[in-house]
Amino acid sequence: MDVARLAALIAATITTGLMAGLFFAFDVSVMPALRRSDDRTVIEVMQRVNVAIINGLFMTAFLGSLLLTALALILHLASGAGSVAPPLIAALVAYALQLGVTGRVNIPLNNALEQAGPVERIADPAAVRQAFASRWAAANRWRTLLCTVALGCLAWALVLSGRL
């Protein structure tokens, strides 16, 4: 049981760290680079990113983080290691909030960008960019913050679990 608990907690920490890093990379490199690009470039790049990112590795980390954190919490509670529960619950809540931001803001914006059609056929690329870029970037900053909070909570849970 100890091995399963620790393995779930480590895996949750790794997957959450991967997601925090991905969102952070967009915050500090991709979106600032695109801010300096023309409207059609922004639209084309983000349309391509939105297609490319839906893959097995991304989905494993994106959904696995929530599932593995929940599993770590269940295993810790079942074994009587309840002192680790508060940071695990906090991590689970922070990550779930990130999923909420993604589902309510980023995904609908991604879908609207895709529905705009091929970039070369968009009549008013400035309007499409304006409807997308600033709202998407702001929501992504929230995702970065929430994933980083979740990662910090999982790190704290690892510290506490080492004291058991």
pTM over 0.85: yes
Query: How many angstroms from the chain centroid is the CA of residue 92?
Result: 13
Cα angle, residue 107 at apex, residues 104 and 113 outer, rounded to 5° = 125
Burial of 45 (0-12, 13-18, 19+ CB in 10 A): middle
Q: Locate all alpha helices (DSSP H) within the chain, ordered by sequence.
A: 2-25, 31-35, 39-52, 56-78, 85-101, 107-115, 125-161
The angle formed by the CA atoms of residues 116, 113 and 107, to the nearest 5 degrees, is 145
Each of the 164 residues of the chain gets a pLDDT tens digit; together they read 589 999 999 999 999 999 999 999 999 999 999 999 999 999 999 999 999 999 999 999 999 999 999 999 999 999 988 899 999 999 999 999 999 999 999 999 999 999 999 999 999 999 999 999 999 999 999 999 999 999 999 999 999 998 76
